[in-house]
Amino acid sequence: MTTTLGPLPTDRLRRWAARIGESIATPLVPSDYLDLIDPLRTTAKLRGRIVEIRPETRDAVTVVITPGRSWKGHIPGQYVRIGVDVDGVRLWRTYSLTSETTTRDISITVKAIDGGKVSNYLVRRATPGTVVQLEQATGDFTLNTGTEKALFVTAGSGITPVMGMLRNHLDQLDDVIVVHSSPTKSDAIFGGELRMLARARHGKIRLIERHTTIDGRLTPEELEELVPDYADRETWACGPGAFLDALEEHWDDASRLHTERFRTSVAVTGDGGAVTFARSGKTVEADGSQSLLDAGEEAGVIMPSGCRIGICHGCVVPLREGTVRDLRDGQITSAAPGDGVLIQTCISAASGPCDIEL
């Protein structure tokens, strides 16, 4: 449940009264009343309250959140799963933390993508006061201790985890090159802050900006020209999957290249088929490149989810019958009636008819 607390006490009272009215029809348990009064209390499920939404570019904002008292903090570069209610449906997505670790509030920076449910909600509709669901921070896209010579290669919203590292580890980094790609100069998220850092820390931080509308998409070969000593640097890269795949292929020493992906790279597509969501009573035709998670959501089925890229296991459900294919490597999983084999819907596509326990 996303609860929005308006700025005026009268509004708040009206909403509380409405909630209590609702409770006559739907009995509340004591914790529901406590949620109305103090949704961020230590014993409640971890939540946060949006306290500020700051524009970064024409389609990206920074959302500042006061987390509940059980928030355990984060390591720069990590991400948080956040649950928001969009048009009455709870949707979970993952966002890198961009805030300094010393502040009580945390921040994420979200870029609206075409047709994106949560990103557009956060960029265009969410307001300060909105209460969101949170999970503890996680992820291993973090700086190694002792790194002095670093290369960050980012594109679009891929700058977010790197900004988290730069804001927190500046004193540790003596020789940093940031290569950042965006469609234009004004589309560069944190462009102003990065340019200011490069000026203020001249000799320690070098910023190389690429604007794809003029320069085209960056290739590993061009990166090598821009940063001739790239192989001597510990590198963190975040951007489109195809670009990260190309970097991974190009890098001789894979242990010195760290990548963070915001979506699954679809490597193999299958046959597709009719997907039945047994408990919801819905059947949809899904093609072999569409995840079962996307197919279910499109059909209006309430699908559990999290990172949507196969990391968190927040989307695991039983496959009652049928065959699915892992979009990352083509691996096939089959279930005979009654098997209830567990599958991750975010990285599985139908390979023939299948029946999901949802």
Ligand X SMILES: Cc1cc2nc3c(=O)[nH]c(=O)nc-3n(C[C@H](O)[C@H](O)[C@H](O)COP(=O)(O)OP(=O)(O)OC[C@H]3O[C@@H](n4cnc5c(N)ncnc54)[C@H](O)[C@@H]3O)c2cc1C
- List of residues contacting ligand FES (CB under 6 A): 305-308, 310-315, 344, 346
Please state the length of the chain: 358
Q: Which of 239, 244, 246, 263 shows the shortest CA–CA distance to 155?
A: 239
> In whole angstroms, how close is the CB of 43 to ligand X at the nearest point?
28
Type of residue found at 32: D
**Of the candidates 47, 308, 320, 325, which one interacts with ligand X according to CB under 6 A?**
308
> In whole angstroms, how close is the CB of 328 to ligand FES at the nearest point?
11
Pick between residue 310 and residue 322 the one whose CB is nearest to ligand FES: 310
Residue 44 DSSP label = S
Pick between residue 263 and residue 313 the one whose CB is nearest to ligand FES: 313
Degrees to nearest 5, angle at CA 180 with 175 and 183: 165
Degrees to nearest 5, angle at CA 28 with 25 and 31: 165
**Of the candidates 176, 188, 292, 309, which one interacts with ligand X according to CB under 6 A?**
309
> Considering CB distances under 5 to 8 angstroms, the limit depending on partner class, which of ligand X, ligand FES, none binds residue 90?
none
Pick between residue 182 and residue 348 the one whose CB is nearest to ligand FES: 348
Pick out residues in 100-119 that bind ligand X (CB under 6 A): 108-111, 113, 115-119
Q: Which residue has the tokens 């500042």?
A: 64
Left (φ > 0), alpha (ψ -120 to 50) or beta: where does 98 sit? alpha
Q: Taking CB under 6 A as the rule, does residue 227 contact ligand X?
A: no
Q: Which residue has the tokens 């070969």?
A: 221
Strands 257-260, 234-238: pairing is: parallel
Residue 311 DSSP label = S
> In whole angstroms, how close is the CB of 284 to ligand X at the nearest point?
15
With residue 177 as reference, give the H or E element that holds it: strand 175-182
> In whole angstroms, how close is the CB of 227 to ligand X at the nearest point?
24
Q: Taking CB under 6 A as the rule, does residue 345 contact ligand X?
A: no
Pick between residue 71 and residue 230 the one whose CB is nearest to ligand X: 71
Is the alpha carbon torsion for 356, 266, 122, 152 positive or negative?
A: positive
Which residue is closest to ligand X by CB?
A: 116
Lookup: tokens for 295? 């197919």
Pick between residue 18 and residue 242 the one whose CB is nearest to ligand X: 242
Pick between residue 172 and residue 289 the one whose CB is nearest to ligand FES: 289
> In whole angstroms, how close is the CB of 296 to ligand FES at the nearest point?
12
Rounded-to-integer distance, Cα 78 and Cα 137, Å: 6
Pick between residue 130 and residue 344 the one whose CB is nearest to ligand FES: 344
Residue 88 DSSP label = T
Residues found near ligand X in the complex (CB under 6 A): 79, 93-96, 108-111, 113, 115-120, 157, 160, 260, 262-263, 307-309
